[in-house]
């Protein structure tokens, strides 16, 4: 074995190579790569999440300004934010009846903003955590759930629409969203290329990105062909593609002055479509108020359970990670009809 001195002699300081200066083209390329790195970093969160965080932080910034407290640029709060200030904002929101879910979103936004700035999060402060625990305990209530639309109601809504390009699109949106149990942000991302006809007449839909698929691996669901052409999701899609002439790109696009636009719909447009259709169908006002874009997803889960489909099959179609989430989507009136483990055991 060679002595250590002999090995060290091979890397003597005076043998170091001179420092090379990168040419301007190389520097420009590195700057471009750094810009792309920032773009990839931004995609680490869903676009809707980033928007929700920005709205929550700006609401906090406005509250600070209204109370004479300094604010940051673009209406955002100053960082680092003292935990006492965050606690005061939570108390103010709780006392005005704000939902616990919206306050939880605000805390996530504050924590995320500090993390990105390389600062310790005030959310982990023990005193703030005790305030937050008290708010959740005293103000917590079951989340408001969307009205579960059923097939009969969808049929009435579709038939009540005035005939035209927009009504064909809206029928496609309603039935495709219902059959796929699609979240609104998933529904508007569907493109023609994501739909594959099967030999038996059904469709295989690939949902490119979703809440439970943050890395965009893709999730697939089967879209069945219905027995009633009015409510058949495959027929609705075929009719829409035929009248729109779409051969690729986003399926659900805007219609303006009777003409198709190149812009895909926004998630919020799905709720507007459903509410407008329900009003045309003369649904009671209290029902219309409860209808949202999630009425399709929850409606599929409730209807399927009512027709005797297993929770496992509903879980797969909704792409839930666990059955507890599926149970929250099934309307209570359907759950109470299901088998009860405490019945028929000799009590």
pLDDT digits (tens, 9 = 90+) for 232-244: 999 999 999 999 9
**Range of weakest confidence among 138-152, 295-309, 326-340:** 326-340
- Pairwise CA distance, residues 319 & 323, whole Å: 10
What is the total residue count of the chain?
347
Section 101-128 average pLDDT: 92
pLDDT (tens digit per residue) in 190-205 = 999 999 999 999 999 9
For the ranges 21-25, 101-105, 135-139, 288-292, the one whose mean pLDDT is highest: 288-292
**Range of weakest confidence among 60-74, 108-122, 210-224:** 210-224
Bridge partners of 250?
Answer: 191
Half-sphere exposure of 215 (CA within 13 A, CB side): 1
Tokens of 173: 């949106």
Q: Report the percent of the chain where pLDDT is more than 90.
A: 54
Bridge partners of 196?
Answer: 204
- Pairwise CA distance, residues 39 & 316, whole Å: 33
In three-state secondary structure terms, 257 is coil
Contacts of 257 (CB under 8 A, 6+ apart): none
Section 175-183 average pLDDT: 94
Q: Is the pLDDT of residue 308 over 90?
A: no
Q: Is the pLDDT of residue 110 over 60?
A: yes
Higher pLDDT, 238 or 143: 238
Q: Is the pLDDT of residue 131 over 90?
A: yes
pLDDT, position 12: 44
- If pLDDT is split at 50, 70 and 90, which confidence band does 10 have? very low
H helix or E strand, kind and range, residue 255 = strand 253-256
**Among 82, 274, 75, residue whose Cα is nearest residue 173:** 274
Q: State the pTM of this model.
A: 0.66
Strand 219-223 relative to strand 203-207: parallel, antiparallel, unpaired?
A: antiparallel
Q: Report the percent of the chain where pLDDT is more than 70.
A: 80
Section 98-108 average pLDDT: 90
pLDDT, position 124: 93
pLDDT (tens digit per residue) in 203-223 = 999 987 765 544 456 688 999
Q: Is the pLDDT of residue 83 over 70?
A: yes
């Amino acid at each position: 074995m060679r002595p250590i001195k002999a090995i060290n002699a091979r890397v003597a300081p005076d043998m170091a190579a001179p420092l090379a200066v990168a040419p301007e083209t190389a520097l420009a390329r590195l700057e471009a790569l750094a810009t792309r790195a920032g773009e990839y970093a931004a995609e680490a969160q869903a676009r809707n999440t980033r928007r929700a965080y920005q709205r929550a932080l700006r609401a906090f910034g406005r509250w600070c300004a209204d109370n004479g407290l300094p604010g940051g640029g673009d209406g955002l709060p100053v960082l680092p934010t003292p935990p006492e200030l965050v606690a005061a904002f939570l108390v103010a929101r709780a006392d005005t009846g704000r939902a616990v879910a919206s306050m939880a979103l605000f805390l996530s936004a504050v924590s995320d903003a500090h993390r990105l700035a390389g600062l310790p999060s005030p959310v982990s402060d023990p005193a703030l955590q005790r305030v937050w625990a008290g708010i959740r305990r005293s103000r917590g209530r079951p989340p408001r759930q969307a009205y579960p639309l059923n097939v009969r109601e969808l049929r009435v809504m579709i038939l009540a629409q005035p005939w035209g390009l927009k009504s064909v699109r809206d029928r496609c949106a309603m039935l495709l969203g219902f059959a796929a149990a699609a979240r609104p942000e998933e529904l508007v991302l569907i493109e023609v290329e994501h739909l594959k006809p099967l030999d038996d007449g059904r469709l295989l839909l690939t949902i490119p990105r979703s809440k439970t698929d943050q890395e965009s691996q893709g999730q697939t669901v089967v879209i069945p062909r219905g027995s009633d052409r009015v409510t058949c999701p495959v027929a609705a899609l075929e009719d829409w593609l035929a009248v729109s002439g779409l051969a690729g790109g986003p399926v659900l696009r805007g219609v303006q002055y009777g003409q198709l636009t190149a812009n895909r719909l926004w998630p919020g447009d799905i709720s507007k479509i459903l509410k407008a259709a329900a009003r045309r169908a003369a649904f009671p006002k209290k029902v219309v108020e409860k209808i949202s874009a999630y009425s399709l997803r929850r409606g599929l889960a409730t209807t399927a359970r009512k027709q005797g489909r297993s929770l496992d099959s509903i879980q797969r179609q909704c792409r839930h990670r666990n059955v507890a989430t599926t149970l929250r989507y099934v309307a209570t009136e359907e759950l109470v009809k299901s088998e009860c483990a405490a019945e028929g055991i000799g009590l």
